[in-house]
Amino acid sequence: MSIRDIHTPVLLERCLDLLGPALQHDGAVYVDGTLGMGGHAEAFLERFGGIRLVGLDRDPAALRIAGERLERFADRTALVHTVYDGVRDALEEAGEDHADAVLYDLGVSSLQLDETDRGFAYAKDAPLDMRMDPTGGVTAADVVATYSEGQLRRIFERYGEEKLAARYARFIVGARDRAPIERSAQLVEILTAATPAAVQRAGHPAKRVFQALRIEVNGELAALERAIPAALGALAVGGRIAVLSYQSLEDRFVKRLFAEATASKAPAGLPVELPEHAPEFRLLVRGAEQAGEAESASNPRARPVRLRAIERVREAS
């Protein structure tokens, strides 16, 4: 199968429409902060012939695939091996001092989910790895083996919003005392045994735990907390940023940050808003947009998506 058959970019046309007004001039800089296999980036390079792409990804395999996919645009692209909070350094490395449009498509990529030996999918037996950048860092097996029961409970609660976090942490610690937990099938078996039958009927017991482990292993929320402010600071006036989130933790953070960025800085009780207190950004969509029924049916990975976008309307104070 070709790369286009196995990877369908989520909300592609909507992202093009939202970010397009900032990319109408020659030399406009489009930052794809989560390049993946290059689906969004390819569409932007095709639609806007004068733009330059700065693409970021921590996964070397994704960068290799995206590089091949975007080879015909090589004179307009700079691909950088970095986490998405490295947007400022990536721009500098590419010889750019600002961004006109930024896209973050958060979460685990199609490439990572579909490569069984990466250990991201609970439905496929594989080594418990879950590193988006397999060249370094701790694995999910390391976390399961070394975190205390309290630490495991904390990440399951915080990053997985798992109601059975305490029970799952207790079962994992008990199981690892008997034998190392090194594969996804082992962990799924432990979680299934710990889950009451009534709860199992409500969904797969491993889903939230695997999500929590992935976020912990890759430091995803910490990176996001640095990435969005960095991207906002890099935007030129008229520049736009769109964020695709797939879990409530990410979306709540983006919502809060966008609300702060679009709020007046005028002190409470001031009768007139001074120009320097006016918001630096404006919302481009009301609330969070979701994929339509047709896209959700044809591309199941679009079902949980939440899209938010804002535009810089004036320079920073």
Alpha helices in 50-180 (DSSP H): 60-69, 87-93, 110-114, 140-146, 149-160, 165-176
- Residues near 104 by Cβ (< 8 Å), separated by ≥ 6? 33, 34, 84, 224, 227, 228, 231, 241, 242, 243, 244
* 122 marked among binding-site residues: no
Q: Are the C-beta atoms of residues 282 and 310 closer than 8 Å to each other?
A: yes
* 7 marked among binding-site residues: no
Span between the terminal Cα atoms of the chain, in Å: 51
Q: Do β-strands 306-312 and 235-245 pair in parallel, antiparallel, or remain unpaired?
A: antiparallel
* 125 marked among binding-site residues: no
Rounded Cα gap, residues 214 and 54, in angstroms: 26
**Could you give the angle at the alpha carbon of 23 between the alpha carbons of 19 and 24, nearest 5°?**
125
* 57 marked among binding-site residues: yes
Q: Which helix (H) or strand (E) holds 222?
A: helix 220-234
Tokens of 83: 């986490």
* 84 marked among binding-site residues: yes
Tokens of 139: 């694995």
- Residues near 58 by Cβ (< 8 Å), separated by ≥ 6? 81, 82, 83, 84, 132, 133, 218
* 38 marked among binding-site residues: yes
Q: Which residues are annotated as a binding site?
A: 38-40, 57, 84, 105, 112
Q: Which residues are annotated as a binding site for S-adenosyl-L-methionine?
A: 38-40, 57, 84, 105, 112
